[in-house]
Amino acid sequence: MNKIQATIISIESQNNISLVRLETASNIFSALILNLHKKASIGAECNVLFKENEVMVAHKNYTLISARNRFVSKVKQIETDNIFARITFEFSGTEITSLITKEASKALNIKVGEEFVWFVKSNEVALEFK
For residue 46, which of 27, 25, 28, 22 has the smallest C-alpha distance? Answer: 22
Query: pLDDT tens across 39-90, in order?
Result: 999 999 999 988 877 877 777 777 778 888 888 899 999 999 999 999 999 9
Give tens-digit pLDDT for 90-105.
998 899 999 999 999 9
Burial degree of 114 (CB within 10 A; 0-12, 13-18, 19+): exposed
In the sheet that holds 2-14, the strands lie side by side as: 28-34, 17-23, 2-14, 45-50
pTM: 0.75
- The CATH number of 2-53 is 2.40.50.100
- CATH number for the domain whose boundaries are 69-121: 2.40.50.100
| C-alpha–C-alpha distance, residues 6 and 33, integer Å | 15
SS3 state of residue 17? strand
The kind and range of the H/E element at 103 are: helix 102-108
* 24-38: pLDDT as tens digits: 988 888 898 888 888
Q: How many CA atoms lie within 13 A of 79 on its CB side?
A: 6
What are the boundaries of each domain within the chain? 2-53, 69-121
